[in-house]
Amino acid sequence: MLTRKTTALLLSTSIIALTVSACGTKPDAASPSAADASSAQADKKVTIRFYSYNLGNAVFGAGTQKLIDEFQAAHPNITVEGVPVPVSDLMTRVQADTAAGSPPDIAQLGFGAMDMIVNGFGATPLESLVPADELKKNFEGFSPNGLKLGMYNGKTYGLAFTFSTPVLFYNASLFRDAGLNPDQPPKTWAEAKQQALQIVAKTKAQGMHLSGTTPTTGDWLVQGLIGSNGGAVLSDDRKKLLFDSPQTIEALQMWKDLIDSGANDKLNDTEAMEAMAQGKLGMYVMTSAVQGTLIKGAESAKWELRAAEMPGFGSKPTTPTNSGSALFILAKDPAKQKAAWEFMKFVTSERGYTIITSEIGYLPLRPSILDDPKYLKDWAKDHQLIQPNIRQLDRLKPAVAFPGPNFSQISTILMNAIQKAVMTKADVAQTMQEAQAQAQKLMP
């Protein structure tokens, strides 16, 4: 699953010491104009290297390769050399290749590393590569909030590739066994606690699991939880961390109470997914990337899988954050930039998102294709689990990327503190205050 699967594992601690100067390329440096890129001969053959952690993955690899194959069939003069790179090695691989003067031409990278991608790897904004009218036309039909995910300082550096929001998966069969109405999943965390405790009391199953206590899961889901309580992990001016804010502490105290009460299990995220797939867990809050695994589990263990939107804090509106990745153009050669843009256009087109959604398992950031018979209309009728994700797009708040070369270490400090705060007898407020003091020293 990409929950990382994306953001968390991308934030490898091995790149903590990376500096902007090591890459030698600044985002505002002069780059070939759109006209220069467009002047590349249309009939000239060009090969671009595409780094992707989806390639080679048993779950996501086939769909990603299909994107490459269909693109190459439609663009015979462009060869996409897909390079599988494990997610845990991706950032260091791109860093090393960039420093050596041989970066990938286009790469699948996590949103949580945006600051490093722009200021360290020298990603080129699309506004510098593509004529304004072409870019505007291409963006038509995109989810506005989806487009914001790849923006940095007002410019578009990436287009969302694999993307999801937190979803409450639940076992409708266990709901019935516990005397609950499966047509009324919890809308608040208080309701989730009550229903989970009823599942525990009336069945042999665990009640619920809110993902994010496992550090490798990444901080994207935690950010959504804190944001839905009116908080944030970083100030708007990106200068001060907010790990110890009242809203953060209150959200984590709620989480701790879920665990201490027995409503939330004491499993790690991987164990919880296995329990959910086996029909031994009532509710599971996680990215939709696990949907395929849960569907297979439900079919095998003979239970009914359903999905609902992420619960909230009372009447406060939820602000789901995103997991996933975007495509970034790192090429400097005009011909390769143009070819990379053509590939990016296809992958994020109506056809591209049809493949991404139906065969890889992520959201289509061109929502209208769900109602288009040429694309996903028939598929969507048979796959209602996607609907909560779609409904949450209007409230989407992009996950924050911590600034500076220490972004990975800051995220690790946050996640370790959250695990300690909610999983042990430690005091939540004191734990987060200590994490705040430690992490703030690493801010640029």
Residues 183 and 158 in one domain: no
Q: Is 179 inside a domain boundary?
A: yes
Q: Are residues 75 and 176 in the same domain?
A: no
412-428 tens-digit pLDDT: 999 999 999 999 999 99
Confidence of residue 42 (pLDDT cuts 50, 70, 90): low
Is the same domain home to 230 and 377? no
The per-residue pLDDT for 54 is 92
The per-residue pLDDT for range 211-225, each reduced to its tens digit, is: 988 777 789 999 999
At 9-26, the pLDDT tens digits run 333 333 333 333 333 333
What mean pLDDT do residues 56-77 have?
Answer: 93
Looking at the structure of the chain, the number of domains it has is: 2
Both 243 and 280 in a single domain?
yes
Residue pLDDT, tens place only, 320-365: 998 889 999 999 999 999 999 999 999 999 999 999 999 888 889 9
Contacts of 136 (CB under 8 A, 6+ apart): none
Q: What angle do CA 122, 128, 129 make, to 5 degrees?
A: 95
User: Which of 361, 376, 395 is the last residue in one of the domains?
Assistant: 395
Q: Are residues 389 and 429 in the same domain?
A: no
Averaged over 293-320, what is the pLDDT?
96
Instruction: Give me the pLDDT at residue 43, please.
Output: 66
Tokens 């879920």, residue located? 258
Q: Taking all residues of the chain, what is their mean pLDDT, rounded to a whole number? A: 89
- Note down the domain range covering 229: 166-321+406-440
Name which of 287, 318, 284, 279 is nearest 187 in CA terms.
Answer: 318
| Residue 2, in any domain of the structure | no
Distance of CA 381 to the CA centre of its chain: 25
**What is d(CA 14, CA 18) in angstroms, rounded to the nearest whole number?**
9
* Domain-located, residue 284: yes
Q: Is residue 401 part of a domain?
A: no
Cβ atoms of 117 and 328 closer than 8 Å: yes
pLDDT, tens only, 88-139: 899 999 999 999 999 999 999 998 889 999 999 999 999 999 999 999 999 9
Domain co-membership, 248 together with 111? no
Assigned domain for 17 exists: yes
Is residue 222 a part of any domain in this protein?
yes
Do 176 and 159 fall into the same domain?
Answer: no
Do residues 152 and 181 both lie within one domain?
no
| Token representation of residue 173 | 């069969």
For residue 347, tell me if it sits in a domain. yes
Q: Using one digit for the tens of pLDDT, what is the confidence trace for 381-405?
A: 998 999 998 899 889 888 888 998 8
Same domain assignment for residues 30 and 152:
yes
What is the crossing angle of helices 220-227 and 407-423, to 10°? 70
Q: Give domain status of residue 1, yes or no.
A: no
Residues 283, 368 within the same domain:
no
- Tokens linked to 34: 């759109």
Helix locations, 228-376, DSSP H? 246-261, 269-277, 291-301, 334-347, 350-355
Considering only CA atoms, give the Rg of the chain: 22
Please give the C-alpha separations between residue 232 and each of 104, 256, 324, 373, 402, in angstroms, as whole numbers. Answer: 33, 19, 19, 40, 12
Site of tokens 């769909």: 63
**Above pLDDT 90, what percent of the chain?**
75
Mean pLDDT lowest among 41-50, 291-300, 320-329: 41-50
CB burial class (10 A; 0-12, 13-18, 19+) of residue 259?
middle
Residues 158 and 252 in one domain: no
Nearest-CA neighbor of 327 among 207, 162, 206, 88?
A: 162
Q: Are 408 and 13 in contact (CB under 8 A)?
A: yes
Q: What is the mean pLDDT of residues 43-69?
A: 91
Q: Collect all residues with Cβ–Cβ distance below 8 Å to 92 and sequence separation of at least 6.
A: 12, 14, 15
Same domain, 252 and 202: yes
pLDDT of residue 10: 37
CATH number of the domain within which 132 lies: 3.40.190.10
Q: Report how far residue 211's alpha carbon sits from residue 21's, in angstroms, rounded to the nearest whole number.
A: 36
Between residues 234 and 87, the one the model is more confident about: 234
